[in-house]
A and B are shown apart, each in its own frame.
Chain A
């Protein structure tokens, strides 16, 4: 097994775990945690492809991850703020109660 494929395997494991959290837990905070995990899995992919890719000196993967971290930070901040706001109104963080958009 090459290092790249093991990295990718780790990444996919991480992604699946995060996805499982998103799908199988009802608490909004835990879902957010799951999302963070999925993002990290993606970041790992970028770094792995940068490391074993064809033109590492261009630093593209690194840069992508830097911006991705920035976006993830922003996302976490806004997401958590939303959770707090919703909690104030509904007194709950249970995601399956938030279904007012039902078709």
Chain B
């Protein structure tokens, strides 16, 4: 029951995020969707992920998007694609969803009883990160650093090269 409420919340937020005309409203709806998803994670027993979801997406990504919107404010041209391309897009999206839903529906592998709640304590996650996934951790750290520097470099106001 709880799952259905949160799921509906999430989908509603997502739909609002992509369909609203005002970008700031879109971001607010996006935050709603992220929060709903975090709640779903908590329901599924992944507390750490749920909190990470809130911290990263709601706390960082959404704020970043807001900043971007503010920086590109005076664009003035909002709105959807042309009618034809909109129709085509909608058709494709429906097809994709249809196939996915049909696949889930027709799958036989999913019909077994849910196993007991697994343990995913912070300590276990920390141990796994530091022992088994130490190298990917290092790599993702490196990637984040590179992305940080790269983003800063790209977004920096360029100097006039030729006077």
Contact = CB atoms under 8 A, between A and B. Distances in A.
Chains A and B share a contact (CB less than 8 Å): yes
Interface of A: 2-10, 12-21, 23-27, 29-30, 32-34, 36-37, 40, 43-44, 47-48, 50-52, 56-57, 59, 62-63, 65-67, 69-78, 80-85, 87-88, 91-94, 96
Interface string B103-147: 011010011101100111000110011000100100010011011
B57 A36 contact: yes
The 10 closest A-B pairs by CB, nearest first: A21-B18, A74-B147, A56-B118, A23-B89, A81-B151, A16-B97, A12-B100, A81-B155, A24-B89, A81-B154
Given A23-B93, A25-B80, A2 B14 contact: no
A85 B154 CA distance: 6
23 contacts: A4-B114, A9-B101, A12-B104, A17-B18, A20-B93, A23-B93, A24-B80, A33-B26, A37-B30, A37-B33, A40-B53, A43-B53, A51-B44, A51-B114, A52-B114, A59-B120, A62-B49, A62-B120, A66-B48, A66-B129, A67-B136, A71-B140, A73-B147
Nearest to A20: B93
B36 to A, nearest CB: 10
Interface string B35-67: 001001100111011001100110011001101
Contacts of B155: 80-81, 84-85
B7 to A, nearest CB: 5
B32 interface: no
A3 B71 CA distance: 42
Contacts of B92: 19, 23
Given A5-B110, A19-B92, A83-B72, 17 more contacts: A6-B3, A14-B14, A16-B94, A17-B11, A24-B90, A29-B69, A30-B26, A33-B17, A33-B30, A36-B30, A56-B115, A57-B119, A66-B52, A66-B125, A77-B151, A80-B151, A80-B155
A27 B23 contact: yes
B: interface residue count bin: 35 or more
Interface of B: 3, 7, 10-11, 14-15, 17-18, 23, 26-27, 30, 33-34, 37, 40-41, 44-46, 48-49, 52-53, 56-57, 60-61, 64-65, 67-69, 71-72, 75, 77-81, 85-86, 88-90, 92-94, 96-97, 100-101, 104-105, 107, 110-112, 114-115, 118-120, 124-125, 128-129, 133, 136, 140, 143-144, 146-148, 150-152, 154-155, 157-158
Contact of B144 (A17, A25, A48, A73): A73
